[in-house]
Amino acid sequence: MSLNELSGEDRKTLKAFRQRVEHLLHGDQQEDHFLIRWLLARDMDVDKAEEMLLKSLEWRKANKADGILQREIAPEIVRKRLMYANIGEDKDGFPILLLPCGRHDHRFVIEEYGLDKFMHMNIIWIEKVSYLISLMLLT
């Protein structure tokens, strides 16, 4: 669902949700496209969306996810062993990602860098994917 497809009632729900959580958010998190994802994930239930968002914000803080793309880049050898590619868009404009999972060498990355670093590198990957999706939602 795009923002243009929201009903009048959905827009009121989005406004109510924004008022409840905006003091917790910064940057792109204050945009409609960010907020609507939480509501859609919880069938437009503001209480459930707020609970889900709060848990996510706590996790992001504990794992230092905010700003990770500006701070860090995975080592080249890891990027080659945990590769993916954005190969275009589907009919709705969302990114199509190619993940050759059979070629992912998780064991190497875990043995070379440890499980914590492996998980950290996956956070970087998830943030890149989320960024691509948010770009699509903005257009």
Residue showing tokens 């939480």: 38
Enclosing domain of residue 18 = 3-62
Same domain, 40 and 57: yes
Let me know whether 82 and 44 are in one domain: no
- Average pLDDT over the chain reads 83
- Say if CB 100 and CB 83 are below 8 A apart: yes
This prediction's pTM:
0.70
Number of domains in the chain: 2
Cα dihedral 117/71/56/94 (nearest 10)? -100
Domain termination residue (choose one: 14, 46, 62): 62
Structure tokens at 133: 């999706």
Domain of 19, CATH number, reads 1.10.8.20
Query: Which of 13, 41, 62 lies at the terminal end of a domain, its last residue?
Result: 62
| Amino acid identity at 77 | I
For 87, the 3-state DSSP assignment is: strand
Q: Residue 89 pairs with which residues in a beta bridge?
A: 95
pLDDT tens for 57-100 read 999 999 988 888 888 777 777 777 667 777 888 887 777 877 77
